[in-house]
Amino acid sequence: MRRDQALLAVTASVVAFGLVGCGSDDSAKVPTAAGGATSKVSGTTSGQGGGGDMAAYVKAQREYAKCLRENGVDAPDPDAKGNLDFGDGDHVRALKRDPKFRTASAKCAPSLSAVPESVEKNNRPKLSPEQIKTMRKYAECMQKNGAPDFPDPGADGFGEGRWDQSSAAAQRALRVCGPIAGAPTSPGPGKG
Per-residue HEC secondary structure of the chain comes to CCHHHHHHHHHHHHHHHHHHCCCCCCEEECCCCCCCCEECCCCECCCCCCHHHHHHHHHHHHHHHHHHHHCCCCCCCCCCCCCCEEEEHHHHHHHHHCHHHHHHHHHHHHHCCCCCHHHHHHCCECCCHHHHHHHHHHHHHHHHCCCCCCCCECCCCCECCCCCCCCHHHHHHHHHHHHHHCCCCCCCCCCC
Q: Of the residues 91, 122, 153, which one is the last residue of a structural domain? A: 122
Do 118 and 135 reside in the same domain of the chain?
A: no
Do 48 and 69 reside in the same domain of the chain?
A: yes
Do 147 and 170 reside in the same domain of the chain?
A: yes
Q: Quick one: pLDDT at residue 36?
A: 38
**Radius of gyration of the CA atoms of the chain, in A:** 18
Do 31 and 109 reside in the same domain of the chain?
A: yes
Q: What's the domain count of the chain?
A: 2
Do 79 and 43 reside in the same domain of the chain?
A: yes
Q: Quick one: pLDDT at residue 51?
A: 62
Closest CA to 131 of 14, 8, 43, 16: 16
Residue 8: Cβ within 10 Å count = 21
**What's the domain range around 146?**
129-181
Do 76 and 112 reside in the same domain of the chain?
A: yes
pTM for the whole structure? 0.48
Q: Burial-class residue 63 by CB neighbours within 10 Å (0-12, 13-18, 19+).
A: middle
Do 62 and 35 reside in the same domain of the chain?
A: yes
Do 150 and 68 reside in the same domain of the chain?
A: no
Q: Could you read off the pLDDT tens digit of each residue along the chain, which spans 192 residues?
A: 444 443 444 444 444 434 433 333 333 444 433 333 333 333 333 344 446 888 888 999 999 999 999 999 999 999 888 888 888 888 888 888 999 999 999 999 998 888 888 888 877 888 999 999 999 999 999 999 999 999 999 998 888 888 888 889 999 999 999 999 887 655 545 444
Do 139 and 56 reside in the same domain of the chain?
A: no
Do 66 and 106 reside in the same domain of the chain?
A: yes
Q: Quick one: pLDDT at residue 189?
A: 52
Q: Burial-class residue 155 by CB neighbours within 10 Å (0-12, 13-18, 19+).
A: exposed
